[in-house]
């Protein structure tokens, strides 16, 4: 029976075995139609059809409890996947289901859709403050215009974020690549001067090259109603087109504005700093984490470095392969496999390093070659088994090393300025929700 346009599914197990068998035989042996049986006995024709299907495939056992073929039965979630979802949610209560799903795929190579994540969180009884309440219908909503450049270094967005650090103001001066969301430059300063803006810009272009366009607001560090600023003269010298947003319209610089929210919520509000220099060092470490290890929902769960160095195709392929192999490991042994993969670019060539099952392989894919070159190394005695696959990003080697053979640096590392420290140090210690 239908009420208010909604469908109610009958409980198929409220009918005993004899009733199910009787209706199936009336349909198969006596030729009664499903519609006539439905009308006569008050049972939906879909339910009788389901019984008939179970009977034809399994015989009378198919009509007993546990033998009925259900439509789209709920897939069982592997225990390690369930445990990992619960652990991520407990340790990061502010994460939503999409974020957890992306982290599982990108970092741990475990396949779990947002719906699966939501189901696990709900069944485990974990609090989910990000669960969206029933939305009220809104009228006359203005849909914001969205734009995105199509290649790296086509446009950078620049801005300054002010926040409280202890008993004084501090300023984050940043540059973000519009296409990839990669942070090309970020510095922490005690004042928001034009010289500080130029210092971060020059460091960024030295490392990553000059963008074609620069999007800023009309702040005094970037623009002037009379004459030209130091920043504008620098852009003109570098042949960079300067685009200025409309006054009081922060949505134009939405990507870097979103970065400010992310760094405040996920890092600065949770960190404790002993000194200003300590804060600068740990901000630099967080930038590496953001660029190379944090899946970004705005770019389909990829990390910004995947897009900036244009290896997203190889990354997706490796993730899909890793998820497939992990699914088999979960089925066979009940635990995920430990693996490693590293991507990088050397000139026009992409490099893929993978390790698993005691072997390590390196593939170099060049435009001039007909097929990838592959070198195999025996890794039987080197592999270690941990809680998660060891996944390194573009430009980073295991254990925080930034160079190959001590000298040649892979693409993707952040500039080595005086305010940056070794990648092996901790990002931040948990704080009471403020700054010290």
Top-confidence range, 31-45, 282-296, 339-353: 282-296
Q: What is the pLDDT at residue 408?
A: 34
Q: What is the mean pLDDT of residues 352-376?
A: 54
106 pLDDT band (50/70/90 cuts)? confident
Between 47 and 8, name the one with better pLDDT: 47
Mean of per-residue pLDDT scores for the chain: 73
Task: Answer whether residue 196 shows pLDDT above 90.
Answer: yes
Minimum mean pLDDT range among 88-102, 296-310, 349-363: 349-363
Residue with tokens 């922060």: 250
183 pLDDT band (50/70/90 cuts)? very high
Task: Answer whether residue 89 shows pLDDT above 70.
Answer: yes
Q: What is the pLDDT at residue 393?
A: 36
- Each residue of 128-148: pLDDT tens digit? 665 555 455 555 555 455 567
Q: What is the mean pLDDT of residues 96-111?
A: 85
Task: Answer whether residue 369 shows pLDDT above 70.
Answer: no
Q: What is the mean pLDDT of residues 190-205?
A: 95
Between 218 and 386, name the one with better pLDDT: 218
Between 351 and 211, name the one with better pLDDT: 211
% of the chain at pLDDT higher than 90? 26
364 pLDDT band (50/70/90 cuts)? low
61 pLDDT band (50/70/90 cuts)? confident
Question: Which homologous superfamily does the CATH classification assign to the domain defined by 155-299?
Answer: Ribonuclease H-like superfamily/Ribonuclease H (3.30.420.10)
- Each residue of 371-428: pLDDT tens digit? 544 444 444 443 443 443 333 333 333 333 333 333 333 333 333 333 333 333 333 3
Q: What is the pLDDT at residue 59?
A: 82
360 pLDDT band (50/70/90 cuts)? low
- Each residue of 299-320: pLDDT tens digit? 888 889 888 887 766 666 776 6
Q: What is the pLDDT at residue 363?
A: 64
352 pLDDT band (50/70/90 cuts)? low
Task: Answer whether residue 162 shows pLDDT above 90.
Answer: yes
Q: What is the mean pLDDT of residues 113-138?
A: 73
Task: Answer whether residue 186 shows pLDDT above 90.
Answer: yes
Q: What is the mean pLDDT of residues 49-58?
A: 84
Task: Answer whether residue 246 shows pLDDT above 80.
Answer: no
Q: What is the mean pLDDT of residues 251-257?
A: 81
Q: What is the mean pLDDT of residues 4-22?
A: 61
Q: What is the pLDDT at residue 254?
A: 83
């Amino acid at each position: 029976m239908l009420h208010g346009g909604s469908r109610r599914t009958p409980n198929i197990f409220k009918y005993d075995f004899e009733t199910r068998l009787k209706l199936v035989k009336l349909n198969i042996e006596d030729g009664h139609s499903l519609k006539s049986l439905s009308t006569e006995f008050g049972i939906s024709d879909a339910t009788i059809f389901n019984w008939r299907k179970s009977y034809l495939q399994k015989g009378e056992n198919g009509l007993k409890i546990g033998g009925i073929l259900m439509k789209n039965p709920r897939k069982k979630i592997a225990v390690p996947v369930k445990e990992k979802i619960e652990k991520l949610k407990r340790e990061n209560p502010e994460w939503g289901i999409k974020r957890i799903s992306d982290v599982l795929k990108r970092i741990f190579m475990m396949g779990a859709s947002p719906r699966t994540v939501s189901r696990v969180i709900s069944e485990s009884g974990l609090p989910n403050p990000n669960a969206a309440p029933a939305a009220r219908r809104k009228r006359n909503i203005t849909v914001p215009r969205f734009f995105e450049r199509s290649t790296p270094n086509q446009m950078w967005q620049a801005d300054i974020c002010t926040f409280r650090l202890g008993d004084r103001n501090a300023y984050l001066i940043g540059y973000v690549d519009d296409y990839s969301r990669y942070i090309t430059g970020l510095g922490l300063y005690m004042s928001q001067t034009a010289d500080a803006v130029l210092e971060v810009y020059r460091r960024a272009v030295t490392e990553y090259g000059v963008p074609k366009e620069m999007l800023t607001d009309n702040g005094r560090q970037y623009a002037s109603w009379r004459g030209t600023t130091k920043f504008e003269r620098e852009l003109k010298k570098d042949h960079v087109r300067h685009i200025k947003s409309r006054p009081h319209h922060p949505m134009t610089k939405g990507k870097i504005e979103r970065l400010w929210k992310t760094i405040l919520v996920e890092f600065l509000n949770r960190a404790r700093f002993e000194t200003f220099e300590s804060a600068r060092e740990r901000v630099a470490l967080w930038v590496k984490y953001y660029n190379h290890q944090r899946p970004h929902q705005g770019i389909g769960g990829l990390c910004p470095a995947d897009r900036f160095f244009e290896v997203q195709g190889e990354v997706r392929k490796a993730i899909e392969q890793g998820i497939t192999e992990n699914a088999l490991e979960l089925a066979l042994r009940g635990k995920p496999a430990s693996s490693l993969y590293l991507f990088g670019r050397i000139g026009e060539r992409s490099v893929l390093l993978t390790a698993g099952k005691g072997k390590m392989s390196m593939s170099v894919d060049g435009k001039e070659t007909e097929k990838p070159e592959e070198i195999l190394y025996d890794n039987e005695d080197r592999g270690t088994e941990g809680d998660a696959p060891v996944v390194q990003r573009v430009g980073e080697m295991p254990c925080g090393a930034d160079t190959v053979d001590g000298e040649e640096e892979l693409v993707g590392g952040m500039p080595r300025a005086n305010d940056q420290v070794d990648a092996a140090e901790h990002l931040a210690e948990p704080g009471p929700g403020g700054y010290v």
